[in-house]
Amino acid sequence: TMETSHLYAGLVLAFVTAAVGIFWRRGLLKTIKSVGRVKSSSSENTPISVNYHFTRQCNYSCGFCFHTALTSHVMSEEEAKRGLRLLKEAGMRKVNFAGGEPFLEPKFLGVLVKYCKEELQLESVSIVSNASKIQAAWFETYGSFLDILAVSVDSFDEATNEKIGRGKGKHLDGIRKAASLCKEHGVKFKINTVVNAYNHEEDMSIPINELNPCRWKVFQVLKIEGENSGDGAKRNVDDFLITSEAFDAFLTRHKDIKSLVPESNDTMKNSYLILDEHMRFLNCQNGRKDPSPSILQVGVKEALRHAGFDREKFVERKGEYDWNRNLSSNECASGANIDPNLAW
């Protein structure tokens, strides 16, 4: 009948409309997922965290050093600021100033720390230092612009430090001083340790807990051609190398320390964006440091194409963390309560 025909047609129309809606939504979902993938892919080329080694000069002579004094070049303040702004515009959220020993250039370092925090408004500004050249006056002037200070501690025995090349028997005095300054100025205190043939059997649990760093980065000593191995290298790392089993034993010995963040050779390689004194990214994919063109000449995006950066490894090693100076969001008390007469 006529009524039956209209009912049938209505059902068909409803079915077709529903089907079109389903396919449209599925297509839209695919589009959204595709956009998401593109966004994720583009983030691979975002320099979220950059380690700027603005000087290669150092007052220590660590036998395993993987960033040695191959040049004495230090960029001008204006050029360094220009490069840092380019990185910020490309998506940099954290910068870490390193060397060499960055406190050999205290004014240059301070000016850039202040610039990055005050002008560029980066989430995090940090420094890695051997602590031997840190002065209270520097913290009075620039400490409020610094989020994290990381210091290098490979042993709590000064004889071992001397064998490694860390100072002449006074290295731990600098560490205590740095920890106290961080506590006084509200800067997060971090420790870096390179596990090598001279310290891999040491138990550092008690002094590490007393210093109470927000992060204790524990690295397996790394061989880099041209830096601590091979022709033209300033160091010979061979006597410092350890097996993976020895590194794992060190980690097991300290497994109860909550701040410990381990980095084996495999984890370290390609998981850092390393910018050298000419503002070139250093590609370590082939076991050496192959420089990209300078970001000042070709821009950040083009230079990153040559960086050899592995974002998955960056995530795996917990490269992104609670990295600003808001101490209330972190259970560690920066620098803890250091007894200046403590003998480790």
Q: State the DSSP string of 172-208.
A: HHHHHHHHHHHHHHT-EEEEEEEE-TTTTT---HHHH
Residue 307 burial (10 A CB sphere; 0-12, 13-18, 19+)? buried
Q: Which token pair is 184?
A: 């006084």
Asked whether 182 and 334 are in contact (CB, 8 A), the reply is yes
Q: What share of the chain is helix, strand, coil (3-state, %, to 5)?
A: 45, 15, 40
* Sequence letter at residue 32: I
> What is the dihedral angle through the alpha carbons of 254, 175, 261, 257, rounded to the nearest 10 degrees?
30
In the sheet that 188-195 helps form, which strands lie side by side, from edge to edge? Answer: 260-263, 215-220, 188-195, 148-152, 124-129, 94-98, 49-53, 274-275, 280-283, 290-294
* Residues forming a β-bridge with 97: 52, 127
Q: ω into residue 27 within 30 of 0, thus cis?
A: no
Active site residues per annotation: 58, 62, 65
Phi/psi of residue 63, each to 5°?
A: -65, -20
